[in-house]
A and B are shown apart, each in its own frame.
Chain A
Amino acid sequence: QKEVEQDPGPLSVPEGAIVSLNCTYSNSAFQYFMWYRQYSRKGPELLMYTYSSGNKEDGRFTAQVDKSSKYISLFIRDSQPSDSATYLCAMSAREGGADGLTFGKGTHLIIQP
């Protein structure tokens, strides 16, 4: 079993829809959770960062962590064509991040105009 599982998609939804992206993980030591967005041929850019369980909202994005189920989610409201990208979940056990981040494979999201 991989440490982090993420459905690669592609996930195609119409513009304006609510998008739900998810990852599951097996390492109970993970406490810090991130979502990155990566456009084709570009580097990842950080969207959301959360610690432990709970929700965090930033504009159209909401990150949700359920440590008891080892399950994290990213919701995108009012999705737009510019949201079309690959979304990577990442996590770490140490606050300093010196152990590096463990990434999922990424979900390819397509927002249809």
Chain B
Amino acid sequence: NAGVMQNPRHLVRRRGQEARLRCSPMKGHSHVYWYRQLPEEGLKFMVYLQKENIIDESGMPKERFSAEFPKEGPSILRIQQVVRGDSAAYFCASSPDQGFLNTEAFFGQGTRLTVV
């Protein structure tokens, strides 16, 4: 059973471009969480999604950021018009149900976004 797959692992974008980060949850997992880790900072919760639904986006910046988890395919975190401050590691986690705190919730390896 493959783990949580995130791609790309590294992404370089120029200021003003769009960044698309993909997360394929573990097989059988229908709940996805996105976190951002800025340099020298802890992980910050961004958004919690189930298939075709955004459950909690209280951690998402109000502008330029959006997330989706379609019925088919991976979850996508989209950042429009990137700025240097968006440079960070973005982690996705998945779980089989709402219980993120159970031991069956796993993080992916992350996507490291660099904005130049």
Q: Which one, B12-20, B42-50, B62-70, B72-80, is touching chain A?
A: B42-50
A44 contact from B43, B45, B56, B99, Cβ within 8 A = B43
| Contact status A46-B103, CB under 8 Å | yes
A97 in contact with B100 given A43-B108, A44-B91 (CB within 8 Å)? yes
Q: Which of A19-60 contact B (CB under 8 A)?
A: 32, 34, 41-46, 49
| Contact status A99-B101, CB under 8 Å | no
Total contacts A to B, CB within 8 angstroms? 75
| Contact status A102-B101, CB under 8 Å | no
Q: Which of B15-38 contact A (CB under 8 A)?
A: 33, 35
Residues of A within 8 A of B95 (CB): 97
Whether B105 is near chain A, meaning CB under 8 Å from some CB there, is yes
| Contact status A100-B42, CB under 8 Å | no
**Interface 1/0s, chain A 70-110, versus B by CB < 8 A?**
00000000000000000010101001111111111110000
| Contact status B42-A98, CB under 8 Å | no
| Contact status A95-B109, CB under 8 Å | no
Question: How many B residues face the partner with a CB closer than 8 A?
Answer: 29
CA distance A32 to B91 in the complex (A): 21
Among B45, B100, B108, max chain A CB count under 10 A is at B100
| Contact status A96-B98, CB under 8 Å | yes
Residues of A within 8 A of B4 (CB): 43
| Contact status A6-B42, CB under 8 Å | yes
| B77 → chain A closest CB, angstroms | 14
| A35 → chain B closest CB, angstroms | 12
Which 5 A-B pairs give the minimum distances between C-beta atoms?
A100-B45, A97-B100, A43-B107, A103-B42, A105-B42
User: Which residues of B pack against A, CB within 8 Å?
Assistant: 4, 33, 35, 40-45, 48, 55-56, 58-59, 91, 95, 98-103, 105-110, 112
Q: A4-B42, A97-B100, A100-B58 are in contact. List 11 more A-B contacts (CB 8 A).
A: A43-B108, A43-B110, A44-B107, A45-B107, A96-B99, A96-B101, A98-B48, A99-B56, A100-B35, A102-B45, A105-B40
User: Which residues of A pack against B, CB within 8 Å?
Assistant: 4, 6, 8, 32, 34, 41-46, 49, 88, 90, 92, 95-106
